[in-house]
Amino acid sequence: MDIVLASGSPRRKELLETLGLDFAVVPAKGEEIAPRGAGPAETVEALSRAKAEEVAKGFANALIIAADTVVWADGRILGKPKDETDAKAMLHLLSDNTHEVYTGVTVMYGGKIVVGSECTKVFFRKLSEGEIDRYVQTGEPMDKAGAYGIQGPGSLLVERLEGCYFTIIGMPNPKLYRALRSVGILPEWMEKEPEFIASCPDVK
Protein backbone atom coordinates (compact mmCIF):
# COMPACT_ATOMS: atom_id res chain seq x y z
CA MET A 1 0.00 0.00 0.00
CA ASP A 2 1.28 3.47 -0.93
CA ILE A 3 1.09 6.23 1.68
CA VAL A 4 1.26 9.88 0.62
CA LEU A 5 1.75 12.92 2.84
CA ALA A 6 0.02 15.84 1.09
CA SER A 7 2.27 18.46 2.67
CA GLY A 8 5.71 19.89 2.07
CA SER A 9 6.19 20.81 5.74
CA PRO A 10 9.46 19.39 7.13
CA ARG A 11 7.88 19.36 10.60
CA ARG A 12 4.96 17.20 9.47
CA LYS A 13 7.33 14.86 7.65
CA GLU A 14 9.42 14.42 10.81
CA LEU A 15 6.37 13.78 12.98
CA LEU A 16 4.97 11.24 10.54
CA GLU A 17 8.31 9.43 10.49
CA THR A 18 8.03 8.93 14.25
CA LEU A 19 5.06 6.61 13.58
CA GLY A 20 7.26 4.24 11.60
CA LEU A 21 5.40 4.79 8.32
CA ASP A 22 7.01 4.52 4.87
CA PHE A 23 5.53 7.34 2.78
CA ALA A 24 6.05 9.71 -0.13
CA VAL A 25 5.78 13.49 0.15
CA VAL A 26 3.54 15.11 -2.48
CA PRO A 27 2.54 18.66 -1.46
CA ALA A 28 -0.82 20.01 -2.58
CA LYS A 29 -0.35 22.92 -4.98
CA GLY A 30 -3.80 24.46 -5.02
CA GLU A 31 -4.57 27.84 -3.47
CA GLU A 32 -5.67 27.61 0.16
CA ILE A 33 -9.07 29.27 0.40
CA ALA A 34 -10.84 29.09 3.75
CA PRO A 35 -14.65 28.84 3.81
CA ARG A 36 -16.17 32.30 4.25
CA GLY A 37 -17.25 32.95 7.82
CA ALA A 38 -15.73 29.70 9.11
CA GLY A 39 -14.22 29.42 12.56
CA PRO A 40 -10.67 28.09 13.09
CA ALA A 41 -11.61 24.41 13.56
CA GLU A 42 -13.86 24.40 10.50
CA THR A 43 -11.16 26.20 8.51
CA VAL A 44 -8.33 23.76 9.19
CA GLU A 45 -10.61 20.77 8.63
CA ALA A 46 -11.81 22.17 5.28
CA LEU A 47 -8.28 23.07 4.13
CA SER A 48 -6.77 19.73 5.13
CA ARG A 49 -9.57 17.93 3.31
CA ALA A 50 -9.04 20.06 0.20
CA LYS A 51 -5.33 19.19 0.20
CA ALA A 52 -6.06 15.47 0.58
CA GLU A 53 -8.66 15.49 -2.21
CA GLU A 54 -6.33 17.34 -4.58
CA VAL A 55 -3.41 14.95 -4.09
CA ALA A 56 -5.66 11.86 -4.09
CA LYS A 57 -6.52 12.54 -7.76
CA GLY A 58 -3.05 11.32 -8.70
CA PHE A 59 -2.99 8.32 -6.36
CA ALA A 60 -6.16 6.29 -6.79
CA ASN A 61 -5.31 3.48 -4.36
CA ALA A 62 -3.06 5.27 -1.88
CA LEU A 63 -3.59 6.30 1.73
CA ILE A 64 -3.56 10.10 1.77
CA ILE A 65 -2.67 12.13 4.86
CA ALA A 66 -3.08 15.91 4.91
CA ALA A 67 -3.02 18.62 7.57
CA ASP A 68 -3.44 22.36 7.98
CA THR A 69 -2.61 24.69 10.87
CA VAL A 70 -3.75 28.18 11.85
CA VAL A 71 -3.33 30.45 14.85
CA TRP A 72 -6.47 32.01 16.34
CA ALA A 73 -5.82 35.26 18.21
CA ASP A 74 -8.17 38.04 19.27
CA GLY A 75 -11.01 36.62 17.20
CA ARG A 76 -9.16 36.25 13.91
CA ILE A 77 -7.07 33.70 12.04
CA LEU A 78 -3.34 34.27 11.64
CA GLY A 79 -1.77 32.39 8.76
CA LYS A 80 1.80 32.67 7.53
CA PRO A 81 3.15 36.25 7.44
CA LYS A 82 3.38 37.95 4.04
CA ASP A 83 6.63 39.73 4.94
CA GLU A 84 8.76 40.79 7.91
CA THR A 85 6.46 43.72 8.74
CA ASP A 86 3.50 41.34 8.88
CA ALA A 87 5.49 38.91 11.05
CA LYS A 88 6.32 41.66 13.53
CA ALA A 89 2.68 42.75 13.68
CA MET A 90 1.62 39.19 14.49
CA LEU A 91 4.23 38.85 17.22
CA HIS A 92 3.13 42.15 18.77
CA LEU A 93 -0.42 40.78 18.83
CA LEU A 94 0.68 37.54 20.49
CA SER A 95 3.01 39.21 23.02
CA ASP A 96 1.79 39.00 26.63
CA ASN A 97 -1.36 37.36 25.34
CA THR A 98 -3.07 33.99 24.92
CA HIS A 99 -3.88 32.40 21.58
CA GLU A 100 -5.01 29.04 20.22
CA VAL A 101 -3.38 26.83 17.60
CA TYR A 102 -5.66 24.60 15.53
CA THR A 103 -4.48 21.75 13.32
CA GLY A 104 -6.84 19.85 11.06
CA VAL A 105 -6.05 16.32 9.86
CA THR A 106 -7.59 14.40 6.97
CA VAL A 107 -7.04 10.72 6.15
CA MET A 108 -8.40 9.19 2.92
CA TYR A 109 -8.24 5.51 2.02
CA GLY A 110 -10.41 2.92 0.31
CA GLY A 111 -13.34 5.26 -0.23
CA LYS A 112 -13.30 6.38 3.41
CA ILE A 113 -12.44 9.88 4.60
CA VAL A 114 -11.84 10.92 8.19
CA VAL A 115 -11.51 14.61 9.10
CA GLY A 116 -10.84 16.09 12.53
CA SER A 117 -8.94 18.80 14.38
CA GLU A 118 -7.16 19.54 17.64
CA CYS A 119 -6.67 22.80 19.56
CA THR A 120 -3.88 23.85 21.92
CA LYS A 121 -3.84 27.04 23.99
CA VAL A 122 -0.53 28.93 24.04
CA PHE A 123 0.52 31.63 26.49
CA PHE A 124 3.18 34.11 25.29
CA ARG A 125 5.32 36.12 27.67
CA LYS A 126 5.74 39.87 27.14
CA LEU A 127 8.17 40.47 24.28
CA SER A 128 10.36 43.53 23.85
CA GLU A 129 10.68 45.34 20.54
CA GLY A 130 14.28 44.16 20.28
CA GLU A 131 13.32 40.53 20.87
CA ILE A 132 10.71 40.68 18.13
CA ASP A 133 13.14 42.30 15.69
CA ARG A 134 15.91 39.77 16.39
CA TYR A 135 13.56 36.81 16.16
CA VAL A 136 12.16 37.95 12.82
CA GLN A 137 15.73 38.36 11.54
CA THR A 138 16.34 34.64 12.15
CA GLY A 139 13.89 33.93 9.31
CA GLU A 140 12.07 31.29 11.34
CA PRO A 141 8.70 33.12 11.48
CA MET A 142 8.32 33.48 7.73
CA ASP A 143 6.86 30.05 6.93
CA LYS A 144 4.96 29.52 10.18
CA ALA A 145 1.33 30.20 11.01
CA GLY A 146 1.28 32.99 13.57
CA ALA A 147 4.91 33.90 12.76
CA TYR A 148 6.63 31.59 15.22
CA GLY A 149 7.89 28.02 15.48
CA ILE A 150 7.76 26.37 18.88
CA GLN A 151 10.28 23.67 17.95
CA GLY A 152 13.03 26.28 17.33
CA PRO A 153 14.12 29.61 18.82
CA GLY A 154 10.44 30.54 18.97
CA SER A 155 10.10 28.24 21.98
CA LEU A 156 11.70 31.02 24.03
CA LEU A 157 8.69 33.24 23.37
CA VAL A 158 6.28 30.82 25.02
CA GLU A 159 5.46 30.88 28.72
CA ARG A 160 3.31 27.73 28.84
CA LEU A 161 0.88 25.51 26.93
CA GLU A 162 -2.44 23.83 27.57
CA GLY A 163 -3.02 20.92 25.22
CA CYS A 164 -1.07 18.90 22.70
CA TYR A 165 2.43 20.03 21.75
CA PHE A 166 2.24 18.17 18.41
CA THR A 167 -0.78 20.25 17.39
CA ILE A 168 1.38 23.38 17.41
CA ILE A 169 4.05 21.77 15.24
CA GLY A 170 1.41 20.82 12.68
CA MET A 171 0.55 17.12 13.02
CA PRO A 172 -1.25 15.90 16.16
CA ASN A 173 -0.06 12.30 15.94
CA PRO A 174 -2.61 10.91 18.42
CA LYS A 175 -5.45 12.34 16.32
CA LEU A 176 -3.78 10.92 13.20
CA TYR A 177 -3.42 7.52 14.86
CA ARG A 178 -7.14 7.39 15.63
CA ALA A 179 -7.94 8.43 12.06
CA LEU A 180 -5.71 5.67 10.69
CA ARG A 181 -7.52 3.14 12.86
CA SER A 182 -10.84 4.43 11.55
CA VAL A 183 -9.87 3.51 7.99
CA GLY A 184 -8.39 0.18 9.07
CA ILE A 185 -4.72 1.09 8.93
CA LEU A 186 -2.08 0.85 11.66
CA PRO A 187 1.69 1.25 11.65
CA GLU A 188 3.18 -2.25 11.37
CA TRP A 189 4.65 -2.22 14.88
CA MET A 190 1.20 -1.46 16.38
CA GLU A 191 -0.80 -4.12 14.55
CA LYS A 192 -0.66 -6.48 17.53
CA GLU A 193 -2.03 -3.84 19.90
CA PRO A 194 -5.61 -3.30 18.63
CA GLU A 195 -6.85 -1.89 21.93
CA PHE A 196 -4.07 0.65 22.29
CA ILE A 197 -5.52 4.15 22.54
CA ALA A 198 -3.15 7.03 21.87
CA SER A 199 -3.35 10.17 23.96
CA CYS A 200 -1.48 13.38 23.45
CA PRO A 201 0.85 14.59 26.21
CA ASP A 202 -0.13 17.92 27.69
CA VAL A 203 2.54 20.47 28.53
CA LYS A 204 1.58 22.86 31.29
Q: What architecture is the 3-190 domain classified under in CATH? A: Alpha-Beta Complex (3.90)
Identify the pLDDT of residue 197: 45
Choosing from 22, 68, 86, 96, which is the catalytic residue?
68
The span from the CA of 85 to the CA of 123, in Å, is: 22
Question: Is 86 marked active-site?
Answer: no
Query: What's the farthest any 2 CA atoms get from each other in the chain?
Result: 53
Answer yes or no: are the C-beta atoms of 100 and 121 closer than 8 Å. Answer: yes
Confidence of residue 200 (pLDDT cuts 50, 70, 90): low
Going from N- to C-terminal start, the domains of the chain cover 3-190
Q: Average pLDDT of 128-140?
A: 97
The span from the CA of 94 to the CA of 113, in Å, is: 34
Tens digit of pLDDT for each residue in 40-65?
999 999 999 999 999 999 998 899 99
The span from the CA of 177 to the CA of 159, in Å, is: 29
The pTM for the full model equals 0.87
Confidence of residue 196 (pLDDT cuts 50, 70, 90): very low
Answer yes or no: are the C-beta atoms of 171 and 107 closer than 8 Å. Answer: no
Please give the mean pLDDT across all residues of the chain: 89
| Residue-wise DSSP of the chain | --EEE----HHHHHHHHTTT---EE----S---PPTT--HHHHHHHHHHHHHHHHHTT-TTSEEEEEEEEEEETTEEE-S-SSHHHHHHHHHHHTTSEEEEEEEEEEEETTEEEEEEEEEEEEEPP--HHHHHHHHHTSGGGGSGGG--TTTGGGGGEEEEESBHHHHHT--HHHHHHHHHHTT---GGGTT-TT----PPB--
